């Protein structure tokens, strides 16, 4: 499993789009007006990507993030296919609601004994 949590903060995704986002992700994020919705969409993509690369054990420097599509326009859970050096793995990635000031994602293998994931509202 992989998990990532980020504080929502203003970002300039145009400067990061080529490095971090796939073409379809960039079109979605940059198609939103500047402000909280765009920032949330960028952080949703970022936490989903980071959760997957943590789950596979590569980390942020292990692969180009702009090759991993995590469908930030879709509500989760989403199916993500990770390809690296001829190997392919499939992940179920879900957004975890921990409050309106945070973006959080959890990635787990698509196959195997997944069982339910229960989340609780923050105290």
CATH class of 2-109: alpha beta
Asked if pLDDT for residue 38 goes beyond 80, the answer is yes
Task: Tell me the per-residue pLDDT of 77-102, one tens digit each, with 9 for 90 and over.
Answer: 999 998 888 888 899 999 999 999 99
Asked if pLDDT for residue 120 goes beyond 50, the answer is no
Which residues, including other chains, have CB under 8 Å from residue 48's CB and lie 6 or more apart? Answer: 4, 70, 72, 76, 78, 80, 93, 95, 105, 107
- Over residues 47-73, the mean pLDDT reads 87
Show me where the domains of the chain are located: 2-109
């Amino acid at each position: 499993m992989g998990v990532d949590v980020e504080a929502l903060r203003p970002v300039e995704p145009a400067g990061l789009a080529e490095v971090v986002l796939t073409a379809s992700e960039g079109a979605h994020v940059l198609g939103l007006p500047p402000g909280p919705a765009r920032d949330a969409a960028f952080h949703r993509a970022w936490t989903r990507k980071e959760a997957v690369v943590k789950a596979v054990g590569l980390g942020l420097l292990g692969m180009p993030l702009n090759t991993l599509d995590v469908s930030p326009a879709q509500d989760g859970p989403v199916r993500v296919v990770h390809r690296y050096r001829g190997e392919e793995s499939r992940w179920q990635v879900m957004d975890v609601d921990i409050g309106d000031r945070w973006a959080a994602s959890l990635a787990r293998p698509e196959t195997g004994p997944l069982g339910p994931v229960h989340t609780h509202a923050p105290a």
